[in-house]
Amino acid sequence: MTAMKKTFQLFLLLAAAPGLRAQDIHFSQFYMSPLTMNPSLAGAEHDLQAVLNYKSQWQSVTNPYKTMGCSFDMRVKNSDAGILAAGANFFSDKAGDAAMGTTEGGLSLAYHARMNTYHTLGGGLQAGFAQRKIRYDALQWGNQYDGTSFNSAISSGEAAGMPSFTRMDLSCGITWNYNNTSGRKSVTNNHDQRFTLGLAAFHLNRPNYSFYGGSEKLFIRYVAHGKALISVPNSNVAFAPGFMYTRQGPAQEIYAGSLVRFLIGQDSKYTGFKQGAAVSFGGFLRAQDAVAAVVLLEFANYAMGFSYDINTSKLKTSSNARGGFEVSLRFVTPNPFGKGTSTSSF
């Protein structure tokens, strides 16, 4: 009866977890996955940025859902008028025994106009190409249960669709960014203030989403997001709140929380041997679904984030509150701890 139990738990997973009703991927460390959240984030904050993401979830309920992603963006031209930037991102998502999932890559182009020394307002476009796949031979159906176990030799009576199909994808977004360290020749003792707000829309072309060649179209995904770094002057403490709201057809996700950041040290102004570092702790709430506990470690140009989703939905009876683990790696230039730059890569 193990297979029957897993099938029932999978049904509960789909029915009880609001965050999974949407058809797109999501990372708990959303600030470490910029181009899956908004194409206009390319070049918005760093001259160059490279990120790796990995998430594994629902291992206690079924075959783990695994998501891997990477992105790269850089400023191509930086002038007094504005910033021209480009980026590329890729992700692969697989779910369940049938390995149903999506592999997608996209290219982004963004421009950020300088409103004044500290403010920029930018827009971006993203064009992508995706492949959807599923293994029908790994699926099990109720009429294949022979009273003792599932028997693959018994016909399921179900019509199989296409094992894979491809689609194009178009997205756009806008971003406002404020950074009070922009243009400074020096940084005072922990007086940094940074704010980012953005709006994005994915799947503007409403691509086909059916393995059976039907008329099922992917809903446009709308995203509103924001984050901030609010330093406490003359201390080593800063607060880094953030939020993300996603709406895709009938599904929505509300996600908000904050990190508390402790600055361990800045780069040496003279020798270059001392490297800046910081550590952040905090949590985010995904409404009616989970609480994510987060740790972010920063050292010079590098950052590493860890998070764990603690399930709070009706599924927690089957999942034992275990949602999923996520890890992110990031490299940025210039050094965020260097003289004349912001003291955070959040």
pLDDT tens digit sequence for 15-65 = 444 444 446 888 999 999 999 999 999 999 999 999 999 999 766 556 678
Confidence of residue 276 (pLDDT cuts 50, 70, 90): confident
For residue 153, pLDDT over 70 is answered with: no
Q: Residue-wise over 27-47: b if at least 16 C-beta within 10 A, else e?
A: bbbbbbbbbbbbbbbbbbbbe
Report the pLDDT averaged over residues 290-317. Answer: 87
Query: What does the H/E/C string look like for 254-286?
Result: EEEEEEEEEEEECCCCCCCCCCCEEEEEEEEEE
Nearest one of 323, 264, 262, 325 to 290, comparing CA atoms: 323
- Considering only residues 213 and 261, tell me which one the structure prediction assigns the higher pLDDT: 261
- Looking at residue 72, its pLDDT comes to 97
Q: Which two tokens stand for residue 55?
A: 């998430």
Task: Output the pTM of the full model.
Answer: 0.82
Nearest CA-CA partner of 246 in 226, 228, 221, 220? 221
Q: Running DSSP on this structure, what letter comes out for residue 301?
A: T
Domain ranges of the chain: 2-333
Q: What is the mean pLDDT of residues 254-264?
A: 94
Quick one: pLDDT at residue 133?
83
Beta strands in the chain (DSSP E): 48-57, 65-78, 82-95, 100-114, 119-133, 164-179, 193-202, 221-231, 237-248, 251-265, 277-286, 290-299, 302-311, 322-333
Residue 23: the pLDDT is 60
Q: So what's the pLDDT on residue 237?
A: 93
The rounded percent of the chain whose pLDDT value lies above 70 is: 73
pLDDT mean over 325-338: 90
Name the amino acid, one letter, at 67: T
Q: Which tokens is 111 given?
A: 């421009």
pLDDT score at 6: 45
Average pLDDT over residues 198-206: 96
Q: How far apart are CA 38 and CA 277, in angstroms?
A: 28
DSSP 37: T
Which CATH number is associated with domain 2-333? Answer: 2.40.160.40
Q: Does 249 have pLDDT greater than 80?
A: yes
Tell me whether the omega of the peptide bond preceding residue 334 falls within 30 degrees of 0, making it cis: yes
Percent of the chain with pLDDT over 90: 53
Per-residue pLDDT at 195 exceeds 90: yes
Please determine, for residue 227, whether its predicted confidence score (pLDDT) is greater than 50.
Answer: yes
Do residues 41 and 57 touch, judged by C-beta distance below 8 A?
Answer: no
68 confidence band (pLDDT: 50, 70, 90): very high
Output the average pLDDT for the chain. Answer: 82
Instruction: Tell me the C-alpha to C-alpha distance, in Å, between residue 63 and each of 6, 53, 56, 99.
Output: 9, 20, 10, 9
User: According to the model, what pLDDT value does residue 187 have?
Assistant: 45
Angle at 237 between CA 235 and CA 239, to 5 degrees: 140
What value does the mean pLDDT take over residues 287-310? Answer: 93
Query: What would the two tokens of residue 303 be?
Result: 């950052």
Q: Tokens for 342?
A: 């912001």
Give the pLDDT of residue 151.
Answer: 65
Of the candidates 179, 217, 223, 193, the residue with the CA atom closest to the CA atom of residue 34: 223
Q: Is residue 209 very low, low, confident or very high in pLDDT (cuts 50, 70, 90)?
A: confident
Lowest-confidence range among 5-19, 72-86, 330-344? 5-19
The distance of Cα 214 from the centroid of its chain, to the nearest Å, equals: 30
**Collapsed DSSP state (helix, strand, coil) of residue 7:** helix
Q: What is the pLDDT of residue 13?
A: 43
